[in-house]
Chain A
Amino acid sequence: MLNTNLKHIEDVVEYNKVLKENENVMLVCGRMGPMCIPVYGIAEELENDYKNVKFCDFEFDTQEADVIRKLPEVRGFMGIPFTIYYKNGKVVKATSSIQTKEQVKTILDKEFGVK
C-alpha cells in the first residue's frame, strides 16, 4: 500500500466502486518514488480545495493495476506516475510523469469546473 493520505484503491472492485460513486475522480497510479511522491503531495494539498473531486491512488506494481496500465489513454506512457482524470466513469484526461501543482489545477479546473 502506498504511504499517502489519499484514498487507496487496491483492487478492480474498489476501482469500479469509486468511479461509480463519484462524478469526478483524480487517480494517481505510481510507486513511492521521486517522480510520484510530489504528485501525491499535490493531490493531498488540493483535496481540501476541490471538494467536488475524489482524489485517490493505486499502487503501480500490482497485478490489479493492470486496469490502469491497459487503458487506451495511457498508450505510449513511459513515465510514472500515470495520473488519470475521470468524469462519470470515463477517462477525460491522462498524464504521464511528474506534474506541477499548476498543471494539475489547470486540468481540474478545465475538466471538472467550479470547485
Chain B
Amino acid sequence: MSTDNHYDSIIIGAGPAGLTAGIYLARARVKTLIINEGIVGGQIILTHEIANYPGVENISGYQLAMIMKKQAENFGCTIINGKSVKSLELENEVKNVTLSDGSIFTTNSIILSPGGRSRTLGISGEDIFKGKGVSYCATCDGDFFTDKEIVVVGGGNSALEEAVSLTKYAKKVTIVHQLDHFQASQYAIEEAKKNSKVNFIMKSSLSSFKGNESIESVDIKNLETNEITNFKTDGVFVFIGYSPNTEFLKDKVELNRRGEIVVKEDMSTNIEGVYAAGDSITKLYRQITTTVADGTISALSVSNYLEKSRINKN
C-alpha cells in the first residue's frame, strides 16, 4: 500500500460533523483525510444567520463553516473537495475508497458524514418553476414577492418561521400542510397564528404547479376528500425537511427505512472500524450543535479504535 495514499482515518463529508471529527483527529496526530463532494460546510451554508450556536452571537453558516475548515486544516487535516466516492470496500481491516477521478485511498478507519439535502416535493412542474416562483430560501428570494401572494409548504419550525418572515414582503401567505396539526414549536405556531397575513390550509398537499413564464397557480389536494382545487399564487416556498445522502452506502452499512445510518452510542456502525456522524445518522434532533457533538464522539471513538488495534498488533 502506498503510504502517500494511506490514512489512519478517512472522513466522507465536510459538513460540521465531518469537519469537527477532522479537527479532533488531526489534533490527536491521526493522519486524516476528508473527502467532500459538494461545498465545504454542507447544509449549514444554506443558513443565512445562526443565532443559537453557543459562544457565537451571530454568524452566517458560510462563515462558521469556513472557520471549521480552517481549524481542521491548521491541525493538519487534508481536505479533498469536489470529488465524489465511486466505490467503498469496508469489510477488511484496511478499507479502500475509490474516488470519481479514479484515485484510490486506503485507511484503517472511516467516518461517514455525508449529511443531507433539502427535500423537494417531487411533483409536476417543480423543476421547471425553480427560481421562477418555486423557492427553498426565504431570505434569498423573499424580496421578489413584495406585495404578492405566496404559498408555504410544510408544518415544521422552518415552514412556520419562514412563513412569518415572508410576511415582510408578501401581502398574503398561505401555509399548506398535510396533517391536521403542526410539528413546530408552540412559539412558532403562535407567531404564525397571530399574524393577520398568514392563512392555513390543513390536511392538504400540492399536486402540481401551473404557469407560463413563472408560477400562476397550484393544484391543492384535500387529503380527506381527494378533491383538487386550483389556487392562484405568485410563488411557493418549500420547507419539508431533509433526506440523508446515503444512496452510495446501500448494502455497505446498515441503514434504516428512511436511509439513515444506524449507529450505536459511540457512533459505530455494524461494520468494524466504520463510524458515522451528523445529519445522515438515526437521531431525533438535527441541529449544528448535535452534529458537532456527533463528530466529536465519532472522532474520539476512532482514536480509541485505532489505539486498541495498535496494541493488539504489538
Contact = CB atoms under 8 A, between A and B. Distances in A.
Contacts of A98: 130-131, 136
A78 interface: yes
Interface in A47-90: 75-80
Residue among A31, A34, A37 facing the most chain B CB atoms (10 A cut-off): A34
Contact of A97 (B38, B60, B62, B131): B131
A36 interface: yes
Interface of B: 38-39, 45-48, 60-62, 81-82, 130-137, 139-141, 144-145, 213-214, 235
A32 interface: yes
Given A79-B141, A97-B135, 10 more contacts: A31-B140, A33-B137, A33-B140, A34-B140, A78-B133, A78-B144, A78-B214, A80-B140, A98-B130, A101-B38
| Top-7 shortest CB links A-B | A96-B131, A97-B131, A79-B131, A76-B213, A34-B46, A78-B144, A76-B214
B81 to A, nearest CB: 7
B82 A79 contact: no
A109 interface: no
A35 interface: yes
16 contacts: A31-B140, A33-B48, A33-B140, A34-B48, A35-B140, A41-B38, A77-B132, A78-B144, A78-B214, A79-B134, A79-B135, A79-B141, A96-B132, A97-B130, A97-B135, A97-B141
A38 B131 contact: no
Contact of A34 (B38, B45, B82): B45
Interface residues of A, number: 21
Nearest to B65: A37
Given A38-B39, A41-B39, A97-B141, A32 B62 contact: yes
Interface string A4-45: 000000000000000000000000000111111110010001
Contact of A77 (B81, B82, B131, B137): B131
Nearest to A46: B82
Contacts of A34: 45-48, 61, 137, 139-140
A41 B46 CA distance: 13
Contact of A35 (B81, B136, B145, B235): B136
A75 B136 CA distance: 20
A79 B130 contact: yes
